[in-house]
Structure 1
């Protein structure tokens, strides 16, 4: 049975807003080598991606808490405007620091948009019927995040990476216009607003400190100090949330096994695994296989198709049957196998092998990207939809942030060591400047230097993909352990 027109238009509007934000999570991935070659800062390469994920992570709990007591439409518009301002500054960036600040601003608004679109949808459509739309939302997320890599590569090879930002602005205007027309204001709430300022500050300190401590941007002794500060903030947050009137992370969330397992499984599969692979796989395609940025993105087209197909079919299957454990469990197993295959990539890997391995990973991610969020929402009372959605997204994004940061550190260190070893094998003197060579300049190197760079990237990246496999196994075990409870029909 087809949905009524107002619901279809609401879904379309919310999908448009999610499309714009999700697209910007990965659109710079294929441009990373070019940006670093232009602006410098190889040691901070991970922050171009992690900056967006970090601040979007921090803004999610606040947006979720406020959405339970304030007009969600106005909140969505405010978050979209903040995202737009960050996008404008990204287009005007003149050095890496400005670009990172712009990405931080994009993340603040983007995190709010991602939570509010899902919260508005959750409040408007019953859980079982929403499973069908969760598949559609998952498809949008997949198309946006994965095609972002493709479009980013095309823009990088063509007019330049700055057009990633310029091209986003008109899309944002269209999404705002649709929202103004079709999204209804939330009904007024009798609950007074008491923002959990202490909780937000402690959450901000804890997340920022832990991500910074794992980013290797500080000396070792300072990293340990920052890590202790982060751990202390986590402990303080535990006590602060018990005293807050409207906590950003209320205790009821963690008393639900379904919420905890669904959230952690989503964090490991569609958070850490997917974002890390999408962030660094294009670099392998460019530096090892010798492809252009656009060609590297093109290799991920099968991953787009697989993710969209599995997400859509999962949504319809769950909506029809009400059963939701078997499909995401099979999907998590596909993620495990996909990571194992990506971990075996090497200098002799063909583009077809890389593309098919990524497609298998995408098929697995598509089964749980938003279905696990739906399960987390269904595990809590209707008046907690906002904080449940925000917390689920928060942990997924936080996991992705730390994953990208840690893999970025490991990649930079392994690349330098692998490059030194490769140069020695070719009888040449080591030089760190080769690590920041732009992909379009590889052809200008001597055959020996070109071969050394390719060998270094081939040795540095695949083991990091392989290291993610145990996380996907843990996610699989959590999904299998989910308690069976019916999806709500209202």
Structure 2
């Protein structure tokens, strides 16, 4: 639970602090990469750690993941440049790949099938309740202290988690010693990295027809095909393709890919809207995200009970409908509607995530045995994290493209760039802008974020359609 606390805090506290971080370090065009870097390595290693935990046991892999996370956190806290911060986030993501899936898998190991739904609901609840403090702490650190404390606070928590696992977690399960697929994570990391560069820079920093973009697209396709071929031939694959034959796992994972994009769209860009467009403080921006963290644990706790009575499919459908309601609210968001309107959208997104994620985990764990439970659980988190990584890139590309178009339309693209949007995120720099320039930058940011929220609405509709494909007869 302490390790999951780290993951929960990371999901929200950095989002709240990001407008202030980018205002100090510069590089608004790299905004999405702070999230993408973390999510990319997280997604690339979550399956590897899941498989390693099946082979060598949960405890040593879990402790290694926490240690890597703390190293990355220390580097991030010491960062003085946007590129340095992105590198630190890569390392943080490596460790985070072990936190959520192995913690969840441990619970699957030590509780019976009958107890699992209830306990997973509690576990998700603890994750969500701890996440409530993230936006508030992020706003507090930015407004009162410094954004560096966003990363420094991980250190004592991580040390406590390490000591707790070392002293109290006794693992007697027999481990199988055999080879582990390492080439798979490397290929998927290269492939998705190439795709993200295309999505972020295409049409903005690089022409869609440039040699660089074409080369990156070829690299993405080659990397993905190489990954698929290796997984098919490997004796101990990172992601056994046989898992996808199970309809519960297949549609749960596909839905998680899409909802991961929704989640990152809300957590990454809502603070930018509240601070840059509504011109509110970081604390207020944190509040609008806190409601998502409140809705998530409440819904997760309820989901643990609903699954036992109405099944995971109906529970998931309720989650999908809630996601659509939240996305509709965001699509109607404007500066005049204020932070409370934004917070309402976050609440429904949180409820939707709580209902659906708990349902998916329970259904997946009940359909596999101990030897594959780690990788099966990790596969769902891999897809959600991969969705978030791709979503950060796609939505970041949409935002950057719209801001660039606005600057060009108003004829100030030579004097101001996408990075000039940094100026909107700080009250002092904002006050130095002339009224016409301030209006253009604000219009660019507002229209760009509106497109992002319309995209979220489309994604939530797709997620509900995928949930409806879950098998009706499968229940816990």
Judge same fold: TM > 0.5, yes or no: yes
> Cα offset for 1:101?
0.9
State how far apart, in whole Å, the 2-side matches of 1:186 and 1:42 are: 49
TM-score if structure 1 supplies the norm length? Answer: 0.89
> Cα offset for 1:27?
1.8
When residues 414 and 317 of structure 1 are mapped into structure 2, their CA distance, relative to the original with a 3 A threshold, is same
Higher fraction of helix: 2
When residues 146 and 449 of structure 1 are mapped into structure 2, their CA distance, relative to the original with a 3 A threshold, is farther
User: Do 2:303 and 2:358's aligned partners in 1 also have CA atoms closer than 8 Å?
Assistant: no
The match for 2:345 is: 357
Q: Which moved more, 1:160-169 or 1:456-465?
A: 456-465
From 178, 186, 195, the equivalent of 2:180 is: 195
The match for 2:427 is: 440
User: Do 1:127 and 1:487's aligned partners in 2 also have CA atoms closer than 8 Å?
Assistant: no
State how far apart, in whole Å, the 2-side matches of 1:146 and 1:226 are: 39
When residues 302 and 25 of structure 1 are mapped into structure 2, their CA distance, relative to the original with a 3 A threshold, is closer
State how far apart, in whole Å, the 1-side matches of 2:215 and 2:265 are: 26
From 241, 246, 250, the equivalent of 2:231 is: 241
1:216-248 deviation digits (Å, cap 9, x = unpaired): 176343122122222122222222222211111
> Cα offset for 1:342?
0.5
> Cα offset for 1:449?
4.7
State how far apart, in whole Å, the 1-side matches of 2:414 and 2:187 are: 48
Q: Which moved more, 1:340-349 or 1:109-118?
A: 340-349
The match for 2:323 is: 335
State how far apart, in whole Å, the 2-side matches of 1:263 and 1:126 are: 23
Residue correspondences, number = 468
State how far apart, in whole Å, the 1-side matches of 2:157 and 2:141 are: 16
From 367, 372, 378, the equivalent of 1:384 is: 372
The match for 1:12 is: none
Q: Which secondary structure does the structure 1 equivalent of 2:312 belong to?
A: coil
1:169 paired with 2:159, answer no
Q: Which secondary structure does the structure 1 equivalent of 2:165 belong to?
A: helix
The match for 1:282 is: 271
User: Do 1:82 and 1:109's aligned partners in 2 also have CA atoms closer than 8 Å?
Assistant: yes
User: Do 1:333 and 1:364's aligned partners in 2 also have CA atoms closer than 8 Å?
Assistant: yes
The match for 1:415 is: 403
When residues 93 and 186 of structure 1 are mapped into structure 2, their CA distance, relative to the original with a 3 A threshold, is farther
> Cα offset for 1:145?
4.5
TM-score if structure 2 supplies the norm length? Answer: 0.92
1:319-377 deviation digits (Å, cap 9, x = unpaired): 4x261121220211111121122012123222222221221222212211232122223
The match for 1:24 is: 10
Q: Which moved more, 1:214-223 or 1:401-410?
A: 214-223
From 198, 211, 223, the equivalent of 1:221 is: 211
> Cα offset for 1:108?
0.2
> Cα offset for 1:383?
1.7
1:129-154 deviation digits (Å, cap 9, x = unpaired): 21112222222333445542332122
From 346, 359, 381, the equivalent of 2:334 is: 346
The match for 1:299 is: 288
CA RMSD in angstroms, aligned pairs only: 2.3
The match for 1:250 is: 240
State how far apart, in whole Å, the 1-side matches of 2:353 and 2:426 are: 29
Matches within 5 A, 1:370-381: 370-381=358-369
From 39, 46, 49, the equivalent of 2:25 is: 39
The match for 1:273 is: 262
> Cα offset for 1:41?
1.6
Q: Which secondary structure does the structure 2 equivalent of 1:64 belong to?
A: helix
User: Do 1:210 and 1:226's aligned partners in 2 also have CA atoms closer than 8 Å?
Assistant: yes
> Cα offset for 1:57?
0.6
User: Do 1:263 and 1:373's aligned partners in 2 also have CA atoms closer than 8 Å?
Assistant: no
User: Do 1:72 and 1:186's aligned partners in 2 also have CA atoms closer than 8 Å?
Assistant: no
Structure 1: unaligned runs, 5 residues or longer: 1-14
